[in-house]
Structure 1
Amino acid sequence: MNDGQADIPSLTPREKQCLTHLALGLRVQELADRIGISTKTAEKQIASARKKLGAATRDQAVAIAINLKLI
Structure 2
Amino acid sequence: MVAPKKRQQKTGGFSVSTGRRIEQGKHQPNKGKPRSWRTRKDPFAGVWESELVPMLEREPQQNRDYSV
Smaller-chain TM-score bracket: under 0.3
Between structures 1 and 2, the one with greater helix share = 1
**Normalised by the size of structure 1, how large is the TM-score?**
0.24
Structure with the bigger RCO (C-alpha within 8 Å, sep 6+) is 1
Structure possessing the higher radius of gyration over alpha carbons: 2
